[in-house]
Amino acid sequence: MLQDRQEKQHPCWLINGASHHALYINVEAEQAAREKVAGGIKAILADLASRAKNHMGDDFIQRIQHQVFEENNEYSALNQVLTLWSGNSARPWC
């Protein structure tokens, strides 16, 4: 019963990991930036890039993060990086 409820709420959580990517990052440390949004987003991007490379062997974020940040702003850079990263992947994202 619990699994059925979870599948309805979050169907992508329960899909076979062999066909999808999942990467966990903890952004609590970036909360220290508080009103310094740009610094916090840069730290999140750096952490995301590092973990993607170390845990998935994927350096795509490392290659694009600085350019994307410069071409966007601190409020849209993270979304843009994730959009580009998922578009570059051969596997679907949830």
pLDDT tens readout for residues 48-68: 999 989 888 899 999 999 999
Least confident window among 9-23, 50-64, 76-90? 9-23
User: Which pLDDT value is given to residue 35?
Assistant: 80
User: Which pLDDT value is given to residue 92?
Assistant: 58
User: Which pLDDT value is given to residue 20?
Assistant: 65
Give me the residue spans of the domains in the chain.
2-88
Looking at the predicted structure, is the pLDDT value of residue 10 above 90?
no
For 1, residues 6+ apart whose C-beta sits below 8 A from its C-beta are none
Looking at the predicted structure, is the pLDDT value of residue 2 above 90?
no
Count CB neighbours of 64 within 10 A. Answer: 18
